[in-house]
Chains A and B, each alone.
Chain A
Amino acid sequence: MKPFEYLEHTADVKFRAYGRTPEEMLSNAAVALFGTMTDLSKVQTKETWKAELNAPDLEQLAYDWLSEIVFLFETESAVFSTFDVKLTRNEDWKLEAQIGGERTDPSRHTFDNEVKAVTLHEFEVKKNDKNDVWCLQAVLDV
């Protein structure tokens, strides 16, 4: 199972991220989002950021998660490479994540794209009943 793949889109970036669990899917989706901006192999995990989100359903949570990564990237002036996601489900879904990365260093971190936002266009989270693999599809505005 590949963690994610990029698909063709004329003006923006479209990807599908996969996981054996929803947590793995969300982690791989974050890597796909961040990986479209910069070379993650050049990002060291010097610091950890925490994210905590709630949403009524998994799809909304996934959208909020990816939007949160964009928000943190800009406001923390940081680049991220590892995303450790934990999900709990009561009445609604709760996400807690530890995000590993470092402050952006222009001498080492170069950018191929700037993700402005996660769009809702064709945004989808679903589980493939045949092979039990979770899939998140998103189009990013760059």
Chain B
Amino acid sequence: MTLNKIDENIYEVPQVYRPDMRVPGRIFVSETLLPMIEPGTIDQVANVATLSGIVKYSMAMPDAHLGYGFPIGGVAAFREDGGIISPGGVGFDINCGVRLLRSNLSYETVQPLISTLIDSLFNAVPSGVGATGRLHVTDQQLTEAFLEGAKWAVDQGYGVKDDLVRCEEFGSMKGADPSQVSIKARKRGRPQLGTLGSGNHFLEIQRVDEIFDEHVAKRFGLSKGQITVMIHCGSRGAGHQICTDHLEVLSRAVHKYCIDIPDKQLACAPIGTPEADHYFGAMVCAANYAWANRHIIAHWTREVFERYFSGAKLDLIYDVAHNVAKIEKHDVDGVIEKLYVHRKGATRSFGPSRSEVPEIYREVGQPVLIPGSMGTPSYVLCGTDKALGLTFGSACHGAGRVMSRSQALKTFTGQDIRAELSRIGIKVKATHPSMLAEEAPQVYKPSDEVVNVVHNLRIATKVARLIPLGVSKG
């Protein structure tokens, strides 16, 4: 079945794609990227469109690819009355997200020490499969981290209070309910606070390579040649277990509430039911854990830079979540409605009219951080008011995979990828070199193409491009 082209970069999955769709699907993608959208991804967009209370469209961002339940890059909003909440629309890695720090250092100052810096960061920030953190966190402290997120980290001496305004939800989302976090999730999460994880998570030293919007760049504190640091990680085992635990509860809830779902991963419950409330309360705990996690990692990053460069400052630009469900007010055909917006591999992209954007950025809009993969550029964009009408204020979260991990392992070796990156001046340090093959630049869509779609649609506008100089990975 062909998709209907609605406008430049907007394609519709018609409701006839499957008979139980309540709304159409909307895939935001260019003609060039469209062939890279697998049929399974379109099926997943259509599946989400069958869920009760969905508002306007089931959406997919330009980096969309096959996920489980929702596609990765999926966005869907549900009204309170008759709507559902689903962990399938958030993911296991709750609040997997990105933090960007800007330094007062230039490329010329930092470049000679890149290898040393990456080695030090690799040692300072535990990463890799099964890594445990440097912190000894008590059960009570874990509860506080669930409740207060980055604010708890600041109270413990990590980072500064001024960081908190430069964080989505101020690093501390309301509505956490630690009583809904299982002992298993606590057991997984407690030793992992302050760890990077593995897979596509990373800590990267970058250089601002190009400025696309001087005015906004100045507001964000970015300038050409400046050194930045990007941190990409999430809620670790705590989030993974919270999602697993509540998926089980919600799998029973679909029978209790007589909900038909086309995919078991779309297990859900009606908003306002105990099952839905319990999941949301636990999800917020995981989201806050992730903000505390990125906050601690940023603190250690600052310590490493201060060790090598006297007077070095790493200021937080912003921190965004790309796997989370939020309660937001949106204008739906002229009526302000309270919606439960699920962003699964998608980033909030709010413009100047939204009070959620920190005052320091309210003139222009929030920073939208799009990480590349190793060897490919990352981008800083600016949220817009136009995004509200098109995507409930959402944009892409990365480049999106085009090659499976198994295919990548057959095609590349970790050694080759590291050598290739070294040839173009990128130093990589990884706990698991074999994983470098799975994260090779070639397994992702071209990030500039993905970002250009977002820019051309004006759901977020390009501000700066950052290129990697050194990467620390699990």
Contacts and interface: CB of A to CB of B under 8 A. Distances in A.
Interface in A84-126: 104, 110-114, 116-123
A11 B67 contact: yes
B244 A118 contact: yes
A112 B265 contact: no
Secondary structure of the A contact surface, majority rule: loop
A57 to B, nearest CB: 11
B383 interface: no
B405 interface: yes
A101 B386 CA distance: 55
Interface residues of A, number: 35
Given A8-B407, A75-B187, A119 B69 contact: yes
A110 B406 CA distance: 16
A74 B265 contact: no
Contacts of A142: 199, 405
A75 B188 contact: yes
B328 interface: no
B130 A73 contact: yes
A120 B198 contact: no
Interface in A26-71: 37, 60, 63-64, 67, 70-71
Secondary structure of the B contact surface, majority rule: mixed
Contacts of A13: 405-406
Contacts of A77: 130, 132
B457 interface: no
Contact of B199 (A6, A114, A117): A114
A118 B243 CA distance: 10
A12 B401 CA distance: 10
A129 B175 CA distance: 49
Contacts of B406: 6, 8, 13
B302 to A, nearest CB: 27
Contacts of B129: 37, 111, 114
Contact of A11 (B65, B243, B267): B65
B404 A116 contact: no
A119 B240 CA distance: 10
A117 B240 contact: yes
A71 B92 contact: no
A113 B68 CA distance: 18
A20 to B, nearest CB: 26
A71 B240 CA distance: 10
Interface in B329-361: none
B331 to A, nearest CB: 33
Interface in B55-95: 65-69, 72, 91-93
Contacts of A113: 199, 405, 435, 438
B419 interface: no
A65 to B, nearest CB: 13
Contacts of A141: 68, 91-93, 240
A139 interface: yes
B434 interface: yes
B445 to A, nearest CB: 11
B38 A10 contact: yes
B420 to A, nearest CB: 19
B64 to A, nearest CB: 10
A74 B404 contact: no
A10 B66 contact: yes
B307 interface: no
Given A104-B130, A121-B264, A142-B405, A116 B68 contact: no
Nearest to B243: A117
Interface in B377-406: 401-406
Contacts of B197: 114
Given A9-B66, A114-B129, 7 more contacts: A10-B65, A12-B68, A63-B248, A75-B188, A104-B130, A119-B92, A120-B265
8 contacts: A11-B72, A13-B406, A112-B409, A112-B432, A114-B197, A119-B92, A122-B264, A141-B91
